[in-house]
Amino acid sequence: MSKVRVGLIGAGRIGQVHAASIAENRDVEFTYIADVFVDGAQKLADKYGTKVTADPMELINASDVDAVVVCSPTSTHVDLISASIDAGVHVMCEKPIDLDMARVDALLPKARAAKTQIALGFNRRFDPNFSAIKNRVNAGEIGNLEQLIIISRDPAPAPKEYIAVSGGIFRDMTIHDFDMARFFVPEIVEVTARGANSFSDYIAECDDYDSVNVVMRGSNNELITIINSRHASFGYDQRIEAFGSLGMLTASNQLPTTVRAFSATQTEVADPYQNFFLERYSSAYRQELADFVAGIQSGKLTNPTYEDGREALILADAALESAKTGKTVSLK
């Protein structure tokens, strides 16, 4: 089977993560990098031996590109997905699709009719611990799923410049957790959210929250709780608990090593949690790309789809409405 020729749009922090995954994949030929800040793209291109351009349309329409991975700013996503469809190029796009549901919906008919694969970058589905819980829930190990708890806390908040254009915590951070909730409970019918400004003045100045809790109800009366904070003094806090009629499954935080220290004054002293999402989810990013490439080769995509991205944004918008009004938002 011939290799899939892949181009990367966006050479920033998340683009560099995907670049490593693309370069490592044996079924991929890494051919092109595009970024309007061409100096950064050139450094990445020099590292991986690709061509480089400041124009993403040049990359999308290149003869040696079969698929693109989009890691550019959110405001560019809809246009780049649309252009990729027109060019007959497969696309995997980082979340969210857009901050404006009207733009997402405007592209929906075209995305549904596309002959190429369209994947959304919800990498946490590919975390080996979270996917193992999902598989074991599906296998009936804990009976009927009744409660799902998703905890996600960042080590420190992003800079004010990022927060100001991020679309807010629900669309930027919690959206990963909304997708994880739908991974377990595809049909969510009710959203209640509360937000607080507990520690960051500049996040409050951006009319955003630094801490949020969300409670959602599934169509079979499953209860899903999401707990988010923009900071955690002890590192990157990423946990899931699935509780059912026959038992419970949990996934804990990741440590750099399994070493424990014991002394006269303390026991079970472990390393701090991994402190950055790129470390915590490195294996998930690799598997995400591998599944995308396999979906192109087989014609059967298993990655989150455009419609999954749309559904996560619907939940984000509902959570924001609930947090602002203090009311529960019904989706059905």
In this structure, how many other beta carbons lie within 10 angstroms of the beta carbon of residue 220?
11
Is the pLDDT reported for residue 287 higher than 90?
yes
Is the pLDDT reported for residue 278 higher than 80?
no
Is the pLDDT reported for residue 275 higher than 90?
no
Tokens linked to 67: 């698929």
Among 26-30, 37-41, 173-177, the least confident range: 37-41
- % of the chain surpassing 70 pLDDT: 100
- Quote the CA–CA distance of 52 and 8 in Å, as a whole number: 10
Is the pLDDT reported for residue 85 higher than 90?
yes
Is the pLDDT reported for residue 222 higher than 80?
yes
Task: Report, as an integer, the average pLDDT of 297-324.
Answer: 97
Query: What pLDDT score does 332 carry?
Result: 79
Query: What pLDDT score does 279 carry?
Result: 78
Is the pLDDT reported for residue 277 higher than 80?
no
Query: What pLDDT score does 190 carry?
Result: 98
Task: Report, as an integer, the average pLDDT of 11-21.
Answer: 94
| Residue that has been written with the tokens 């989009």 in this structure | 70
- Provide the pLDDT confidence category of residue 280 given band limits of 50, 70 and 90: confident
Task: Report, as an integer, the average pLDDT of 184-213.
Answer: 98
179: helix, strand or coil = helix
Instruction: Work out the mean pLDDT of the chain and round it to a whole number.
Output: 96
What is the largest distance, in Å, between two alpha-carbon atoms of the chain? 67
Instruction: Mention every residue, 6+ apart, whose C-beta is less than 8 A from residue 217.
Output: 188, 189, 190, 223, 224
Task: Report, as an integer, the average pLDDT of 139-165.
Answer: 96
| Sign of CA pseudo-dihedral 302, 175, 138, 332 | negative
Is the pLDDT reported for residue 219 higher than 90?
yes
32: helix, strand or coil = strand
Is the pLDDT reported for residue 231 higher than 80?
yes
Report helix, strand and coil shares of the chain as percent, to nearest 5.
Answer: 40, 25, 35
pLDDT (tens digit, 9 = 90+) per residue, 123-143? 999 999 999 999 999 999 999
188-196 vs 90-94, strand pairing mode: unpaired
For the beta sheet containing 329-330, the strands, ordered from the edge strand earlier in sequence to the opposite edge, are: 247-251, 237-244, 145-153, 223-229, 211-218, 188-196, 329-330
| C-alpha dihedral (302, 308, 309, 311), degrees to nearest 10 | -170
Per the omega criterion (within 30 degrees of 0), is the bond before 96 cis? yes
- Quote the CA–CA distance of 14 and 50 in Å, as a whole number: 18
Query: What pLDDT score does 155 carry?
Result: 93
- Name beta bridge partners: 226: 150, 214
Domains of the chain: 4-116 (3.40.50.720), 125-284+311-330 (3.30.360.10)
- Provide the pLDDT confidence category of residue 37 given band limits of 50, 70 and 90: very high
- Quote the CA–CA distance of 92 and 71 in Å, as a whole number: 9
Task: Report, as an integer, the average pLDDT of 11-26.
Answer: 95
Q: Is the pTM of this model over 0.75?
A: yes
Structural contact between residues 227 and 208, judged by C-beta atoms closer than 8 angstroms: no
Structural contact between residues 223 and 150, judged by C-beta atoms closer than 8 angstroms: no
Query: What pLDDT score does 152 carry?
Result: 97
Cα–Cα distance list, 229 to 122, 161, 163, 211, 277 (Å): 19, 18, 14, 4, 14
Q: For residues 278 and 54, which has the higher predicted lDDT (pLDDT)?
A: 54
Query: What pLDDT score does 314 carry?
Result: 98
| Position 171, amino acid | R
